[in-house]
Amino acid sequence: MKIITEEQKIQLWETAQQAYQKAYAPYSQFHVGAALLTQQGNIFTGCNIENVSYGLTTCAERNAIAIAVASEGGEQMKIQAIAIANNRQIPCSPCGACRQVIAEFAQENTIVIFLGQKGLEIAIITELLPSEFSF
């Protein structure tokens, strides 16, 4: 397990802020960006992509994970850290579905960086999703 530096945390947060600018969110106007750092040291980004058939919308976090898997390979890609930002700068942590998908590609102590009620929060994925589904 690699230790993430403070500089890397800030870099991820700033990258997530840029990522939301690419969002396609004409229905909610809520633009979300995610930036993740893999164990191999690469950074991948994603944004939410809405659809007129609302349920087909995909979240920023899962879109970033899809890009990371497509690049590094599903068996290799492990998330060291993932940051999530939004255009309204309001407290927003990953939705339940995204927590489960982050957990799928988590390593020990994968961290999630997001805006909480008291400013920037850093949580371990297992704190956000205890008892993930598994069989």
The secondary element (H helix, E strand) that includes residue 64 is helix 60-72
Number of residues engaging ligand THU in binding (CB under 6 A): 13
Is 98 a residue that touches ligand THU (CB under 6 A)?
Answer: yes
Residue of 94, 102, 110, 128 interacting with ligand THU (CB under 6 A): 94
Q: Which string of x and - marks every residue 37-76 that binds ligand THU (by CB under 6 A)? A: -----------x-x------x-xxx---------------
Rounded Cα distance between 59 and 63, Å, is: 6
- In angstroms, what is the minimal distance from the CB of 95 to ligand THU? 4
Q: By the 8 A CB rule, do 23 and 49 touch?
A: yes
Cβ closest to ligand THU, residue 19 vs residue 43 = 19
Using alpha carbons only, what angle is made at residue 96 by residues 45 and 65, rounded to the nearest 5 degrees? 25
Catalytic site residues? Answer: 61
Cβ closest to ligand THU, residue 40 vs residue 126 = 126
Instruction: Work out whether strand 43-47 and strand 119-124 pair parallel, antiparallel, or are unpaired.
Output: unpaired
Instruction: Work out whether strand 43-47 and strand 79-86 pair parallel, antiparallel, or are unpaired.
Output: unpaired
Which residue carries 């976090």 as its tokens?
A: 61
Is 95 a residue that touches ligand THU (CB under 6 A)?
Answer: yes
- By the criterion CB under 6 A, which residues form the site for ligand THU? 25, 28, 30, 32, 48, 50, 57, 59-61, 94-95, 98
